[in-house]
Structures are given as structure tokens and as C-alpha cells.
Structure 1
Amino acid sequence: MLFCAIEKTGSTFWKRILHIAGGWRNVSNPTHIGLGEAYTEKGGYRSMKGKNWTNIVEIFSKTRSVIFVRDPYTRLFSGWLDKFYSPNIYFWKSAGKQIVKRERKTDVKCVYDVTFAEFVNHTVHNVLSKPCIDGHFQSNYLHCLPCNVSFDYIGKYETIKEDTMHILDAFKLSEKIKFDDFEKDSALDAIKDAAGWVFSQKKGVAECEVSFGCALFKVWSRLQSRGIISFKIKFPFKSDEDVRNVTRKQFESALKNAYDGSDSEDLQNSRQAALVQALSSLPKSSVNLIQQAFDLDFEIFGYDRVPIVSINPTNFQTFSYFQNCPPF
């Protein structure tokens, strides 16, 4: 199997699948491999780094190949949620600084409140004007060059469960790679990762002069936006004192309890509602630029150029998904 990884399309998840397929670690469920371990090249898969184009084309001719792609609108939204809304000190200090310098004409060392509209304007400008930008935001097709080489399987993030199962079955890996409960495994994996990540960023958050309560709240809100925690369940910490004493395990436990207490129908609609709210913040000019910047992604992979603009029930529209800090 040859897999071409595209950031923000489930690539980390699939790297863990490849480790198991290649016989690394005595596990069958990909979520039992740590997210950090997914990137080691000493496990079950090998990288094609350093190979020239002739080598790559030859490998393609002898190997069945797989990529996963994603709708440009949701991929941009996911990139903003993970790298700018949520605590990510590297992006707050690098790209965040560049964005506010361009959008607000201000120069600060660390930016924790980049809006989705600011991020989109900056990103589409870079896509349209620069040959190489951060891979999390670059076009799907530029990662894997599907116009130059032919892929046997093109999965879509929107149907990742069904497409993953189909591909595993095609490669006769269904008995080797198994899930206890695909949706629940994915949700608990995301919760564990979110809790571990925010505590790893604690020192940097303080250096950015952002309260840790704000950082935890952003993680909570991000998981609401992803449809892992219901929008009806409030942030459980009521004061700076509560946050000051909370441990990573306690925060992870609070996230799991919120997931367990969430209504499944709320979760199904919450993710789309958050996306609609984010897209609704964009002026028409920004949507037009997205369509220009990702024109080939829309065309090649069959995605709709017109974004989602409404959702029912209406009570989702009154909830604000992207507040910066808790109300204390």
C-alpha cells in the first residue's frame, strides 16, 4: 500500500493504520497507538523522503495507492480551530503574528485571538500568491499530484469511516485492524489528545500572557465545535482557583464526562452548526477568494463551490461556539 498523507484529512489516523498493517506494535486498534508515535518512521511503514521522481513513479506503477481528501471549507475551518483558536504556541507566535500584522496592521509577539475571517483572508492570499505555504492549509491536489499519478483509492474525510472500512477490506486488512466502536474510539482519542496537548502548552500559554483558564476553555469550545461535546454542556470550572489546581487527568475526565453526557442528536448537528457559524462570519469577497484559491480541489474531487449557509434547528444559531475566554 502506498499512502500519500495530506494534513487535516485524517492523515495521522491513517499513519497509525499503516503501522499496524506493517506489523508494528501488538495492537489492532489504531487509536491504541499514541498520536506522537504515528509519525515515527521506525515502525510499520517507510517514508519515500529522498526518493526522486523516477523512483516515485516506478513505485506507483507497482503498488496500489491511497489518498484521503477533504472539502476546502471544512479543511480551512479545521485548520483554524486546531492551529489558531485552540492553544498552539508555535502558530500563535509565527503565522498568528503574520496574520494580525497583515489584517490589523499591528505587531505583537503572540496572538491568541485570530478570527476565522482573518485566517481565511491571510491563507487564501498566500495560496494565490506564493508557491509554497504551510501544508495544513495548502490545496489537497498539490500534496499528492493526482494529475501526474493515478491513485487507486481516493477516500473523503466526510465519509472516513465507510471509506476506511472499504479500503481495509480491499487490502484484506479487516481482521488485522479493528475498532471497538469507530465513532467512540475517535472521540475518546480526540479527548485524550486535546487534554495532553493543552497541558504541554501551559508554559507557552503563560508566556503569551493568556490565562490557563482561557486555554482550557478554548479546548472545551473546540471539542464542542467538532461535535464531541454538546453545546448544552457548560464549561465545568467556575473560577481561576478551580483552573489553577486542575490536573491533566482531571481535565480529561471532565471532557469524557461531558462526552458521555451529550445527546447524540446534539452532537450530530453541532459540528455542522459550528461550521455554518464560522462560514457566516466571512464576507462574500472572502468566499469568492476561497473558490479561486481552491478551484482545482473543488473540480478534481467533486466538492461544492457554494458553502453551507443555514442549519436547523434554529437553537444552534443562538449559541456562540468561538468565545475566547470563560465568563469568570
Structure 2
Amino acid sequence: MATKIAKSLRPNSTSIKCGNDVTFAELLEYIVNNRHFTDSERRVNEHFQPTVFSCNPCKYPFDIIGKAETFAKDEGLILASARLLGEVSEGKQSDRILTEVNSLVDYNLDFKDWLGIDMPDECFSFIDVSRRLWKVFQLNGYIGDEVHFPEKQFEHLKDKASYKNELKFIIFELRKKAGMEMLNKWKQQKQRSMHEAYKTLPASLLEKFTTMFSYDFDLFQYERHPNWLRK
């Protein structure tokens, strides 16, 4: 998708071979520009479409509608409504984070294989993907911004399995050794990172993006113009 974005928004650029330098603003602009295409013409991944269109509550009779911010509470409500509270163990926050780290590492390092295309080495290397995942885990608040990517621990690695195991091991060990105070400090990074990213966007693009997801804001009770963004 990154190369499509680069070609669409800067067709005369010489840096569109990999699309690795696509910005957050360009991603949102591409999503907004291609929001009206039909399913057969879809140019935007369904993960970037308004939830109301893919999970229309008027079409599908959901019993409970939850969201990521209140997942722990929603999980208890779901188990209680199914009369399984106490029968099924509720996942701990730390367990969910480790599960997500595990799955993101596997998914992204396997990406080239299951995509089935021959990507240039400069567009996809295990070390580059590992660095990018490290940044993702920092943005998500799983590890601290102050913890630098350990380049030397990856220098001797050759194959994909080694990169997977090493990256997972380092992340898991960092979280295991961090105290609760440190983990909470890291957790706050996610909101701060999101705030900083959205503050870089032009007002006109923000307004288009807000309009595109207006039904989702109403359905899931999100603020269209939160105070932190106005400030």
C-alpha cells in the first residue's frame, strides 16, 4: 500500500520504489481521497475504512459493542452476559501485550513470504523490519522511548527465525525486568505519541478525516474535536 500512496501523491518523486518514507499525513490523505470507491474498486485496506461500514450494527445484531480503550471492562461484561464469569480466565493486560508483540513480529517478518512477490533487498530486510517494529512497540507504549534499538545483538543473525526469536526475547526481557512504575510510564507514551502525530496534520485534512469517520465517532462515543487537539 505504501508504494501506491507514494505514486499517487508524489508521482514525480524518485523515492517511491519502496514507499518506506510515506508520512502519516500522506497515509491519511490517501485514505480520504479514496474513501468513495466501491468494493470492486477498493484501493484502501478494510482496516482503514469506517467501522460502521464493515461492522454495521443495523445489519448485524451485536449483543455487545466494545472498544480497545475499555477492553478489560468489556471482557468482564461479555463473560458475565454469557454466564461464564469465573469459569473462563480473563486475560491480563501484560499477557495481551506479549501476545500482540509475538504476533506482530511473526506477521511482519513473514510478510514478504506470504505476499508472494519479489521485493528488492533495500525495501525489505530483516534488520530494517526489526528496527521499524521496535519503533512501533515504543509508539504503542510497550517499551520506553529511552531504550535504543540494540543493533549489536542483531549483527550476527542471518535467518528470519533468528531475528524473530531475538527480537521477541529482548522485548519480553525488557518488560519482565521493568517495574510497575516503569511499565505505567511506558504505557503513557501511546497517548502522547498519538497526540504528537495528529498535531502535525493540516486543519483541512483533519476536517476531511473527521467527516469520513463521523458515524464511528457517534457510534463509539469518541470526541470529534478533543481538547488536546484544539490546544
User: 1:49-90: CA deviations, max 9, x gaps?
Assistant: xxxxxxxxxxxxxxxxxxxxxxxxxxxxxxxxxxxxxxxxxx
How many residues align? The count is 214
Contact 1:280–1:309 at 8 Å: present in 2 too?
Answer: no
SS of residue in 2 equivalent to 1:232: coil
Matched, 1:151 2:62: yes
Question: Are the structure 2 counterparts of residues 308 and 206 from structure 1 closer, same or farther at C-alpha, using a change threshold of 3 Å?
Answer: farther
Deviation at 1:296, TM superposition (A): 1.4
Deviation at 1:173, TM superposition (A): 2.3
Question: Are the structure 2 counterparts of residues 279 and 252 from structure 1 closer, same or farther at C-alpha, using a change threshold of 3 Å?
Answer: same
**How far apart in 1 are the matches of 2:101 and 2:32?**
30
Unaligned segments of structure 2, at least 5 residues? none
Counterpart among 157, 161, 164 of residue 248 in structure 1: 164
Counterpart among 134, 141, 144 of residue 220 in structure 1: 134
Deviation at 1:159, TM superposition (A): 0.3
Unaligned segments of structure 1, at least 5 residues? 1-94, 311-328
Matched, 1:139 2:57: no
Deviation at 1:282, TM superposition (A): 1.0
Q: Which residue of 1 aligns with 2:147?
A: 233
Counterpart among 11, 15, 37 of residue 105 in structure 1: 11
Contact 1:227–1:267 at 8 Å: present in 2 too?
Answer: yes
**How far apart in 1 are the matches of 2:112 and 2:56?**
39
SS of residue in 1 equivalent to 2:155: helix
**How far apart in 1 are the matches of 2:70 and 2:5?**
32
Deviation at 1:244, TM superposition (A): 4.5
**How far apart in 1 are the matches of 2:183 and 2:167?**
22
User: 1:38-117, aligned counterparts within 5 Å?
Assistant: 95-106=1-12, 108-117=16-25
Amino acid at match of 1:296: Y
User: 1:262-277, aligned counterparts within 5 Å?
Assistant: 262=178, 263-277=182-196
Backbone CA RMSD of aligned residues: 2.6
Give aligned-pair identity as a percent. 26
Q: Which residue of 2 aligns with 1:306?
A: 225
Contact 1:230–1:259 at 8 Å: present in 2 too?
Answer: no
Normalised by the length of structure 1, the TM-score is 0.59
**How far apart in 2 are the matches of 1:243 and 1:104?**
36
**How far apart in 2 are the matches of 1:282 and 1:297?**
20
**How far apart in 1 are the matches of 2:153 and 2:166?**
15
SS of residue in 2 equivalent to 1:309: helix
Deviation at 1:154, TM superposition (A): 1.5
Matched, 1:257 2:163: no
Deviation at 1:123, TM superposition (A): 0.4
Amino acid at match of 2:196: Q
Contact 1:230–1:258 at 8 Å: present in 2 too?
Answer: no
**How far apart in 2 are the matches of 1:102 and 1:212?**
27
Contact 2:175–2:183 at 8 Å: present in 1 too?
Answer: no
Matched, 1:163 2:66: no
Normalised by the length of structure 2, the TM-score is 0.81
Contact 2:52–2:215 at 8 Å: present in 1 too?
Answer: yes
**How far apart in 1 are the matches of 2:220 and 2:80?**
23
Matched, 1:197 2:107: yes
Q: Which residue of 2 aligns with 1:209?
A: 122
Question: Are the structure 2 counterparts of residues 126 and 183 from structure 1 closer, same or farther at C-alpha, using a change threshold of 3 Å?
Answer: same
**How far apart in 2 are the matches of 1:194 and 1:257?**
17
Matched, 1:188 2:98: yes
User: 1:9-36: CA deviations, max 9, x gaps?
Assistant: xxxxxxxxxxxxxxxxxxxxxxxxxxxx
